[in-house]
Structure 1
Amino acid sequence: MLQLIHQLARSRIQELSPCSLCGIMQQHKHSLCLDCYNSLPWLKTQVLRQEMHILTACHYAYPLDKIIQQFKYEQQLHYQPMLSGLLKSLKYPKVQAIVPMPISTERLTHRGYNQSLLLAKDLAKHLKLPIWQPIQRLKQHSQKGLSRLERLEDIQHQFIHAEPTQIRYRKVLIVDDVVTTGSSIQALKQCLEQLGCQQIHAVCLASAK
Structure 2
Amino acid sequence: MLSFINQLFHKGVQSISPCLLCGIDRQQQHSLCSNCWEQLPWYRQHIQRHEHNILCAHHYDFPIDRIIQTYKYEQQLQYQNLLAHSLLNLRTPKVQAIVPMPISTERLKERGYNQMLIIANIMAKELKVPVWQPVIRAAQHSQKGLSRLERLENIEDQFQIIQTEKRKHKKVLIIDDVVTTGSSIHALSQALEKLGCQQIYTACIAAGGIKQRSQLEESATNFKEYN
1:29–1:37 CA contact under 8 A, matched in 2: no
For 1:166 and 1:52, locate their aligned partners in 2 and report how far apart those are by CA, in whole Å: 27
> Residues 69 and 2 of structure 1: is their aligned pair in 2 closer, same or farther, counting only changes over 3 Å?
closer
The corresponding residue for 1:106 is 106
Q: Structure 1: how far apart are the matches of 2:67 and 2:13?
A: 23
Q: Where does residue 62 of structure 2 map in the other structure?
A: 62
What residue ranges of structure 2 are gaps of 5+ in the alignment?
Answer: 210-227
Whether 1:30 and 2:30 are equivalent positions in the alignment is yes
Deviations 1:5-59 (A, max 9, x none): 7655543431321001121222145111122111110011211111010111111
CA distance in 2, matches of 1:12, 1:132: 31
Residue type of the partner of 2:64? L
Q: Determine if contact 1:177/1:205 at 8 Å carries over to the other structure.
A: yes
**Secondary structure of the residue that 2:126 maps to in structure 1?**
helix
Question: Aligned equivalents of 1:132 and 1:103: distance in 2?
Answer: 14
User: Which letter does structure 2 place at the counterpart of 1:104?
Assistant: S
Task: Tell me which residue corresponds to 2:14.
Answer: 14
Preserved contact between residue 104 and residue 140 of structure 1 (Cα < 8 Å): yes
Matched, 1:198 2:198: yes
Helix, strand or coil: the match of 1:21? coil
The 1:131/1:207 distance shift into structure 2, 3 A limit, reads same
Higher helix share: 2
Q: Residues 63 and 161 of structure 1: is their aligned pair in 2 closer, same or farther, counting only changes over 3 Å?
A: same
Equivalent position of 1:52 in the other structure: 52
Query: Residue 152 of structure 2 aligns to which amino acid in structure 1?
Result: L
Give distance in 1, aligned partners of 2:142 and 2:3.
Answer: 47
SS at match of 1:157: helix
Q: Which residue of 1 aligns with 2:155?
A: 155
Deviation at 1:3, TM superposition (A): 6.9
Provide the identity percentage: 58
Helix, strand or coil at the partner of 1:78: helix
2:136 counterpart SS class = strand
One-letter amino acid of the counterpart of residue 108, structure 2? L
Aligned-partner Cα distance in 1 for 2:2–2:154: 52
Query: Quick one: structure 1 residues 143 and 17, their matched pair in 2 at CA, closer, same or farther if it must change by over 3 Å?
Result: same
RMSD: 1.7
Distance in 2, matches of 1:3 and 1:81, equals: 18
Could you tell which deviates more after superposition, 180-189 or 35-44? 35-44
Partners of 1:123 and 1:91 in 2: CA distance? 13
Q: 1:42: which partner in 2? A: 42
- Which SS does the other structure have where 2:205 is aligned? strand
Shift of 1:68: 0.1
Where does residue 122 of structure 1 map in the other structure? 122
2:77 aligned partner: 77
- Which whole-Å CA distance do the structure 2 matches of 1:10 and 1:123 have between them? 16
Flag as ranges the 4+ runs of structure 1 deviating above 4 A. Answer: 1-9
Distance (Å, rounded) in 1 between the aligned partners of 2:29 and 2:13: 12
Q: Spell out, residue by residue over 1:63-114, the C-alpha distance to the aligned partner (whole angstroms, 9 max, x if none).
A: 1000100000111111111111111211221211111111001110111000
User: Which amino acid in the other structure matches residue 153 of structure 1?
Assistant: E
Residue aligning to 2:185 = 185
Q: Secondary structure at the match of 1:201?
A: strand
* Unmatched tracts of structure 1, length 5 or more: none
1: CA distance, partners of 2:100 / 2:87: 13
